[in-house]
Amino acid sequence: EKLIDRKLDKKIFFHDDFSGGSLSEQWMILNPDKKSMSVKDGTVALFVNVSKPKKAANILHLDVPDPKDDWIFTANFNLVPQSMAEVFELGITNENGSQQILAQIQFNVVDNKVSNVFLRGIKDTRQSTSHFYKKLISFRSKNMKKHADFFNEHIKSINIKLQKSGTAYIVSAKLEPIKEKDSAVSSDWVTLQKLISLPLPDDTFFIRTYLKDAKNYLSTNPT
């Protein structure tokens, strides 16, 4: 997973291409697990096991002064599915974690026949959770072993974006196909309805990966 930039007034406020052999000092790691993370060739590789979101290993928190105006937080990542229950998130949270806005990519399986990739925009507070979502791509087969292969063979990477505009948060994403003009993959940007939040959780940006309950899916070996 690669963080591209976070923009303020059309200027790059923070950028990391992960070109070194370790994370830069701006990143704080929550629940560190060195065996499940590596930094190499401009990419942070995160190996994911079944976990609750807040207990996920190697949650990356960005420890830099936060802009108080509008911004765009973007990432480009290659999520290699195995269990078909993987989740990737960009988020922003307040200091105590009681308010979060999430831009989420989630794999899921329906009746062990249909695998989907969803884009979700989530507003999560201690009182309630609300979200919008759209399907990005799906695959149908009775042979579950073919599902992960389909996504690995067609999707090169996913661009995901979380944008703040006033009191609104906008979530969008775009699939990058391995082959140009792949009829199985739409490369158009998909944008969800705006999430409105007051007060605004503008304290810490983070990247998080984990698995949903995968007991009825494929093998839950790290991916």
Query: In this predicted structure, what is the pLDDT of residue 112?
Result: 81
% of the chain exceeding 90 in pLDDT: 45
Query: In this predicted structure, what is the pLDDT of residue 203?
Result: 80
pLDDT digits (tens, 9 = 90+) for 25-58: 899 999 999 899 999 888 888 888 767 888 899 9
Distance CA 10, CA 129 (A): 31
Residue 211: exposed, middle, or buried by beta-carbon count in 10 A (0-12, 13-18, 19+)?
buried
Annotate 36-102 with three-state secondary structure: HEEEECCEEEECCCECCHHHCCCEEEECCCCCCCCEEEEEEECCCCCCCCEEEEEEEECCCCCEEEE
Query: In this predicted structure, what is the pLDDT of residue 74?
Result: 93
Band of pLDDT at residue 4, cut at 50, 70 and 90: very low
Band of pLDDT at residue 172, cut at 50, 70 and 90: very high
pLDDT digits (tens, 9 = 90+) for 60-69: 999 887 777 8
Q: Which one has a higher pLDDT value, 139 or 51?
A: 139
Query: In this predicted structure, what is the pLDDT of residue 140?
Result: 93
Band of pLDDT at residue 126, cut at 50, 70 and 90: confident
Query: In this predicted structure, what is the pLDDT of residue 7?
Result: 44
pLDDT digits (tens, 9 = 90+) for 188-207: 999 999 999 887 777 899 99
CB atoms within 10 A of CB 109: 20
Band of pLDDT at residue 223, cut at 50, 70 and 90: very low
Highest mean pLDDT among 2-11, 26-35, 67-76: 26-35
Q: In terms of residues, how long is the chain?
A: 223
Residue entry with tokens 């503008």? 202
User: What is the β-pairing status of strands 86-93 and 129-140?
Assistant: unpaired
Q: Write down the mean pLDDT value for the chain.
A: 85
Band of pLDDT at residue 3, cut at 50, 70 and 90: very low
Residue 153: CA atoms inside 13 Å, Cβ hemisphere, count? 8
Query: In this predicted structure, what is the pLDDT of residue 65?
Result: 74
Joined tokens for residue 216: 């009825």
